[in-house]
Amino acid sequence: MAYVISGDCISCGNCKETCPVGAISEGDGKYEIDPASCIECGACAADCPVEAIKPE
């Protein structure tokens, strides 16, 4: 189950820097996680200051 970023994202970029496989990119108004690349490690969720990242 890949992680997803909700509309609560503030586009700080912490998650992109934290992702060990580069599955996160800047999208339209918020960051997005590529579900095919996500290894479900949870590093991005742990680093999100607004808790906008949750398991799908």
Q: 27 is in which domain, residue-wise?
A: 3-55
Domain containing residue 25: CATH number: 3.30.70.20
Count of domains in the chain? 1
* CA 39 vs CA 29, 33, 43, 44, 48: distances in Å: 24, 11, 10, 11, 17
pLDDT digits (tens, 9 = 90+) for 31-56: 999 999 999 999 999 999 999 999 99
15's enclosing H/E stretch is: helix 14-18
Q: What pLDDT, on a 0 to 100 scale, did the predictor assign at position 1?
A: 84
pTM confidence score: 0.91
